[in-house]
Every structure is written in structure tokens, then in C-alpha cells.
Chain A
Amino acid sequence: MAYSSEADDLRPSEAAVERARRAATSAGLTRQAFLRRSAGSVLGVTSLAAFLTACGSAGTAGTGSAAVGSPPAHPTGTLRIALPGAVDSLDPTIAESVGDLAIITSIFESLVTFDAGYRALAPSLATRWHVSDDAREWVFTLRDGVRFHDGATFDASAVRKNFEYVLRPSDPYGFLFGTPVIDDSDPSVVRFTYKTPFPDLGHNLTLASGISSPKVLGSHPAKADKQVARQHVGTGPFRFVSERAGQSVTLAAFDGHWGEKPHIETLVFNVIPEESARVSALQAGDVDLVLQVAPLAARSLRSDPRLAVHESPSWSTACLMPVCDMKPFDDPRVRQAMAYAIDRKTIVEKLLLGTAALDDSMFPPGIQGYHVPATAYAHDPQKARQLLKDAGYGGTVPVRMSVRSDAVLASEISQALVAQLNAVGFATTSEVLDPAVFEADKSLPRPKYQLHWNEWGWVTGGPFHLTLGALAAQCHYRNPRYDALVARVVVTPDGRARERLIADAIDVWANDVAWITLWVPKRLDASIATLQHYQAPPNVFTKLGTSYISGSA
């Protein structure tokens, strides 16, 4: 029986939704916030450096406030967005940073996207799709009448060329799409055929697969790196106009967009590397939107009636990750002690100022397969001490912890974690490391640091860190039962059977304390109060196609 592309069939089961709703409500979230949960961070999966390991939250599902006024009849006005760093790459297949991806999301589109509530996949450049029973074949029906910004026609051939490009040997993220045979014999249909089941294609297509114009890719797409790096031509609501190196990127509304026409005439992305300078620029009226403000800055911005703070949950998790085959964390009791030692509620309240939600699952609500494990570890220092004694650690347990320097409140949170761990008998020292040094240490067979804390972005909306084994690999976690369950998840098509397998894997994970989820950060963006219909996605792909500035007509 083939799966249809109707959204119902690809949504989590009702039971899973209900369980998540109860969990979210008990965590103090409203129904609206739960439905619009979104998180994104652009951190890498184990296999990917910065891309899949979340570093600070990115992208929010955007609760947004009720829109005021109506959109202008024609694209009007300029929206100035503050970027946290210079543009590294606008190649949709390799871009990693929040800023780069905000630009890319405006220029490029993929075959699928998420619906407005970020609960299910929705049509984009493909109007519908079928997945075979065994998830070896995906057939996408392409949208008619779509043109690229340079006038080229969007068809199956364009899709095939793009996948030839993204699957080139030097692309670091091509593995997200497996090794399909792509059939573009019908210009309106593209068929992906795999030798083994590949159920995650749909979700993975929301990532690193923005479709570039075939004119840019030329006749040898696999060698089109330089062209794609220079020319940014997609089908999105905005077209690339210019870049001033290190300074700004300008996009203009694309009148020929197949969907809802953009309401803003010009987007200007300005590079302001220093965070407090970005906030000052917003307060001074020099920019209109700042992505990812810190909790303390958000608190002060809320009191300014000219500004609005957009807060919503993200699809990322902050994790404390022990190296499970190195002392002392090779003993599960020590890992349990670690879990009991952490007072997550205090950190969220005092340091994050309430801008995160507690969660015991492996990944946040809203991610396909979300399941709250039966085993949970509430703050219990006494139990932690007892467990360490039982494990034979009568004195102190030396532990070296590392954290990425670009994590939100890296120093402050790591100090809190150190204090809480040391209060139960660990002798923890912590170092804040440059991101590349941090990632390099984690990938060593014997890392220098036995404990890491980091954020992970489940940016595809699916459990891809689970199926790719990223977190487990970085924690050196091996459990035959867990590994077998994950191996089955990888090849099981979406549906109740897969959800059961994921739930079982999460239960084993929680029991073993392979790593712990500390909290689910919220995404905080700040803008002028007149920016309407702003909805940041749960992943890092900030969409501006339907936003407008009231009073700008």
C-alpha cells in the first residue's frame, strides 16, 4: 500500500500527539505554544561539524502576534535584518550559519516544506508525493508554471541536476539523501529509487536541498561549485541583488513567485558581529529584525513599546554528553549520578530567565516520533552521592568538561553545571573551547574531555540525529539493544511501527543515561513592533515571504 502525500498520513499518531501535549502542558506551555513549537539550530550531527550540532537556538516556529492591518497590495518597504556574522556561503547545500540560512531561505526552495504549524510536511515545489510501502521509492509530482529568478523552467531535469550537485563527492551533507537513482524522464515527475529503505528523505529534503537554477549548474552539475558560490538563483520569494563583502546582502521581491507574492520590496541583511551592537542597532532604529537575542537582552527589549520580542520553542535540545567508554562514565551508575546532580529547573529559571522548557525526551516535542521515556531523573543530590558511592567512588570523581564558546551563556551555564556536579562528589573542571577545537576533541577516539555540553538542532523535524547515530557516536554509546532498535528505525517506513521502535530506543537510552537532555531552548527574535506576520520556523530557516511592515504602504 503506497503512502499518499496527504499531510494526515505523515503526522505523528494521535496518541503520540496527545502524550506530547500532556507533557508540554505540564511543563507550563499553552496549547498554542505546543502546536507551534519550533526550534532550529544549525549544529551538526556527529557526522557534521557545525551544521547539525546546535549552537544556540536557531529558528523558531514563531508564535508571532496577531497581524495588524493588512498586507500592502504590492511589495513595499525595506526590511533590515541584523546578521551575527559575515556571510560564509550562500550555497544552499553547504551553508551552515543562522545568518546564511536566513538569506538562503528567502532565495531558494525545496521540494517540500513544513505547514504553517510545523506539524507536518507540506507541498512546496512538489505538489504531492508517494512513498512506496518499503520506503525505497519516492515519487514527487512537480508544480507547474514555476520559474527560477533567471527565467529558467523548473522541471524534473532541474531537480536531477541539483541532486547531482548535492551528491557530488566534496559535498559534506550529501549523505542526508543517501544514494538514490533519480529518474527525470517525465518532466513533471521525479522519482528517487533506493536499494535499501530510506524513510527520512521527506524530512531531509527540508534541509540542504534548495533548488538552484539549471542555468547556474550548467552541463556538469557535479563541478558547479564555483558557479553556485557566485550566482544565487532559486525560485524563492526574493531574488539576490547584491552583496557587499563583509557588510550586507540585498534581496528584492520576486514578482514571478509561484506562491504568495512577497509583501516587502527589499530585504537587507546587515552584518553586525557583536551581539550587544545588534540590539543597540534595533533600539536605534538602524535595523528592523534581530535573529537570536540573548535572554537578558530580550527582557530589556520587551519594555520598549516600539519593539516586539518573538518567543517560541525551538527544535533543539541542550544536552550533557558523557563519553560512555571512558572513566568515570563507563559506569552507568556514574552517568545516573550525573543526571540526578543537575538542577535543570534552577538553571532555566535563573540563567536562561525562563527561556527554555524542561524535557526528558531525546528530542523536542514536534519532532516526528517524540516520546517521553518512562525513566526520568529529577534533581536529587542525595541519590547522586549514593550512586557514586555504589560505583566505588568514595572520594571525588575528577571530570573534565568542555563547552562551545558560541553556545548561549556558555560560561555561565558551564559554571552552574560544574557547581552542581561538584556538590555531589564530582571534581569537575570546565573549559570553554573554540567551536572547531570542541568538535575536534569530540571526534577523537579518546577525547581529552569526558563530558561535553552542547545544543543539537533537530532541524529536519524528524529524528535524524537518532537515525544517523550522531549523538550516540559522540558519546561512544554502544548498547546492542539500542543499536538494533536504531538499525530497524533507519529502514522502517513512517508509521506506527516506526514510532514504536523510536519509543523503545528512547526508553533504552533514558535507562542507560547515554546522555541527558537538559532543556529545550526557546528561540528569541526581536523586531520593530510594526513587523507583521513574522513567523520564524522551528529550524533555522527564517521565512520572510509573508511578512510585511504595517504602515509601510
Chain B
Amino acid sequence: MITIANAQLWVNDQDEALSFYTKKLGMEVRTDVTLPEMGDFRWLTVGPAGQPDVAIVLMAIPGPPVMDAETAEQVRALMAKGFAGTIFLVTDDCRASYEELRARGVEFVEAPEDRPYGIDSGFRDPSGNHIRLTQVRELATA
């Protein structure tokens, strides 16, 4: 059986991202290790407290030789435009989560709105990544 373990987001600054995902979104740190043998590469993952088997990798944009400067610049440009990655989160109460996160300074680009599939909203992380926050409508089971 194939399941999802991690999904990766590029971030401009790992400390800033860490603070956002833990303090504002309330996620937990899963792993935070710096590996000297890999040029001080920092493997940093966070995930929701109630979902221990799935994590988001907060990946810093590497320099050469891992990524050449031009590619890194392209990734940064895409992030700034909000096209570098998206994570879809679900909640059991979209409007309550929206109020709670907004009170903590989360920058929403879409306030909760009714959709055929439920109530949907969206915000950005400090790097510009697009995060959806959806309350999925309970579908009638046949």
C-alpha cells in the first residue's frame, strides 16, 4: 500500500517558517536536525498534532552545488508569485479556524466561502506558499 509520508514546501527562511507553522498554525515539530556531513543541511519537518504519520518538509532553497544560482532565483521568483507550492488542509470548522488564525496574524487571501464541496478559505505562509483551509462537506453515503 502506498501512503503519503511528507510533502515539501520551499521556504525563504526556515526559522521564520518554523515559527509560522508551529506558533500560528499550531503544528508540531517532527524533526529538526542539522547535518554537518551534508554542509549543515537542516532537515526540518512539521505536522498536525493529531496526524503523526504525515509531515511537511520546510526546505530551504539551497545554493550551489546543489542548486545553481539561476535556478534558485527562479524558485524564489515563483515563490514570491505564489506558484511554488500549495498544501491543502482540512478543518472541522472553517469559520472558527479562520477567526483563530486571523487573530494570530495569518494573512488570508480568501475568507471562508461556501462551495459545493464545503466551506473553503486560503492564506499564505511567510514565503508566499498558498495554503488552503477547507471544511469538507459531509457527503451522503449511499
Task: Specify whether A and B are partners.
Answer: no
